Structure 1
Amino acid sequence: MLRILTASLAFVATFALAEEAPMGNRVTVNGMEMYYEVSGSGTPLIVLHGAHMNIVSMGQIIPKLAETHKVYALELQAHGRTTDIERPITYEALADDVAAFMGAVGIEKADVFGYSMGGVAGLQLAVRHPEKVAHLALASIAFDSNGWQPALKALKETMNVEMFMALPMAKTYQTLAADPNGYPALVKKLIDLEHEKFAWEELVRTIKAPVLVISGDADVASLDHTLELFRLLGGGVMGDMGEPLPTARLAILPASSHTAVIGQVDLLLELIEPFLSDETPDSALFP
């Protein structure tokens, strides 16, 4: 856990100086004031951050994606500059927030890239609001709470608000937060989210949008679970049979822990950009 949180802080310190942030905006969504930033031009792409993160701590992936897309980077409930409301944080609620945001700013349909908590919310967005999702790139997620690594499951049992408040993350939160004293409440909600039980196999089968699944080979979900997700989405078949490949794609990043995934910007771009453009390598048999 210390590694996860200190890595997020490192992103904040490094990239806050490297990029001048786009002009931020706020819109009322489901009773909260949601903060978001728009950058670039082209087809709309919504970017969703992980737990305890914000737009800044997502790092260089946002400005890089904005070189070819009109990126809408959101800060989810009680994260960053978005206000909190009297409601638990659940993946379903976060997905509904994204859908409501799209309606509020006039986005009919968009590509979505989500990391960790934001990726699971993106998965639920495709389930609950399929008409709003064109392509879905998901990094470091699970579709079933049994898919988390055993070490993470054990760690969750030790989580409490005090351990988070003792970390530098608590002070960093204050620099952006709409409520500088709101971190304990956010931590409690995120701990509750960590304990949420879910099993969405049948829901995943209903997703029609093309999905790119990205995972580190030492990520928070087991590799077996990630492969199962890929197969549920229609992947894992043999190519070179004269038939189009499935729209689902899978990428496993080598030597990559959970927090290492989002920092590999060039590699992520090499995976995400062709996916969003529906590009596939030529086959020697069926170019």
Structure 2
Amino acid sequence: MKAMLKIVCALFLLSAIPALAAERWQGLPDAAPLPKADKTGTAPVNGINMYYAVYGSGPPVLLIHGGLGYADVWGAQVADLSRDHTVITAESRGHGRSTRNAEPYSYDLMSSDYLALLDYLKIDRTAIVGWSDGGIIGLDIAIHHPERLTRLFAQAANSKIDGVIPTVMENKTFASYIEKAGEVYKKISPTPTEYDAFVTQISNMWASQPNWSDEDLKKITTPTAIVLGDHDEAISRAHTDYLASTIPGAKLIILKDTSHFAMLQDPQGYNKAVRDFIDH
């Protein structure tokens, strides 16, 4: 009987190994639900209608999602930051509930959209927490319109296309994100049948942008954090180190046991990193 129990226990432990082997950075958890917004709407900017939502009160923080993403990814961050900040979420042109037009995508154009949204909301200066494309948009604003920023927390951003890891599209977690983004698009976009056309349009930008020189990065005067998950699938650590060493005074933050999707995988740790930077 004891021998049989030992065999059963051994088989149970062996069956548990695959589950135990799945590391946090390999998961893609659903976002926490967003709290009720104080205000939502669409702003007419640069020939599109840009979706936004505003939560809480206090010093403003603008959260900018990544490529193919949408505002709901920030649920845990909005719940935390809106306790003592005015938190603005929005969706970039063509993403989520925002419309797009035929104008070619560029980071300058997308930055202009967000600045026009801030004008619409009568916000002169804000901190930005940007993820992936959102971090790149933050860098664009820091280079060209530093007067609009208080601080920049740029996670998984790149300044040149060679900062992207070539095998990113082969990564299962990243592939799951793209699939989920397509499903959400069909549910909330004003043009639910145009996901492929939208991806094609924005991919034309990704083929050549961003492409900033060292001199461009050295112009940045905004207090900046360059942030990366230690298992990021998309942006290389070498490029992240380059950004942090080239932008004057930049702080390098490496988020432990997370990937490109750190805000979902470790929301508590992510929120602490944001607060430790933007509130000091």
The 5-angstrom pairing of residues 15-164 of structure 1 reads: 15-16=32-33, 19-20=35-36, 22-152=38-168
Change beyond 3 A, Cα 1:176–1:21: farther
Say if 2:229 and 2:257, in contact at 8 Å, map to a contact too.
yes
Q: Supply the distance in 2 between the matched residues of 1:141 and 1:270 (Cα, whole angstroms).
A: 19
Secondary structure of 1:150's aligned partner: coil
Partner amino acid, structure 2, of 1:265: P
Q: Supply the distance in 2 between the matched residues of 1:22 and 1:172 (Cα, whole angstroms).
A: 23
Partner amino acid, structure 1, of 2:278: L
Say if 1:61 and 1:262, in contact at 8 Å, map to a contact too.
no
Secondary structure of 2:243's aligned partner: helix
Partner amino acid, structure 1, of 2:275: E
Runs of at least 5 residues in structure 1 that lack an aligned partner in the other structure: 157-162, 235-245, 279-287
Q: 2:238 is matched with which residue: 224, 236, 240?
A: 224
Secondary structure of 2:254's aligned partner: strand
Which region of structure 1 is more displaced relative to structure 2, 198-207 or 72-81?
198-207
| 1:106-160 deviation digits (Å, cap 9, x = unpaired) | 11111111001111111101112111011001111111111122323x769xxxx
Runs of at least 5 residues in structure 2 that lack an aligned partner in the other structure: 1-24
Partner amino acid, structure 2, of 1:225: H
Secondary structure of 1:256's aligned partner: coil
Q: 2:223 is matched with which residue: 210, 213, 217?
A: 210
Q: Supply the distance in 2 between the matched residues of 1:209 and 1:169 (Cα, whole angstroms).
A: 31
| Per-residue deviation, 1:85 | 1.2
The 5-angstrom pairing of residues 181-260 of structure 1 reads: 181-200=193-212, 201-219=214-232, 220-234=234-248, 246=249, 248-260=250-262
Q: Supply the distance in 2 between the matched residues of 1:168 and 1:274 (Cα, whole angstroms).
A: 31
Which structure's CA Rg is the greater one?
2
Change beyond 3 A, Cα 1:115–1:168: closer
Find the counterpart in structure 1 of residue 274 from structure 2.
Answer: 272
Partner amino acid, structure 1, of 2:204: D
| Per-residue deviation, 1:262 | 4.3
| Per-residue deviation, 1:83 | 0.9
Q: Supply the distance in 2 between the matched residues of 1:226 and 1:48 (Cα, whole angstroms).
A: 19
Task: Tell me if 1:178 matches 2:195.
Answer: no
Q: Supply the distance in 2 between the matched residues of 1:98 and 1:214 (Cα, whole angstroms).
A: 21
Identical pairs, percent: 26
Change beyond 3 A, Cα 1:69–1:263: farther
Say if 1:98 and 1:125, in contact at 8 Å, map to a contact too.
no
| Per-residue deviation, 1:168 | 5.2
Partner amino acid, structure 2, of 1:126: A
Say if 2:132 and 2:156, in contact at 8 Å, map to a contact too.
yes
Partner amino acid, structure 2, of 1:214: V
| 1:77-128 deviation digits (Å, cap 9, x = unpaired) | 0111111111122212111111111112211111111001111111101112
Partner amino acid, structure 2, of 1:229: L
| 1:198-219 deviation digits (Å, cap 9, x = unpaired) | 4312211101010011101121
Secondary structure of 2:258's aligned partner: strand
| 1:162-219 deviation digits (Å, cap 9, x = unpaired) | x99x945433212211222221221112322331244312211101010011101121
Change beyond 3 A, Cα 1:79–1:25: same
Say if 1:217 and 1:256, in contact at 8 Å, map to a contact too.
yes
| 1:235-254 deviation digits (Å, cap 9, x = unpaired) | xxxxxxxxxxx4x2111112
Say if 2:54 and 2:88, in contact at 8 Å, map to a contact too.
yes
Secondary structure of 1:60's aligned partner: helix
Structural RMSD (CA): 2.4
| Per-residue deviation, 1:68 | 2.0
Say if 1:216 and 1:253, in contact at 8 Å, map to a contact too.
yes
Say if 2:62 and 2:127, in contact at 8 Å, map to a contact too.
yes
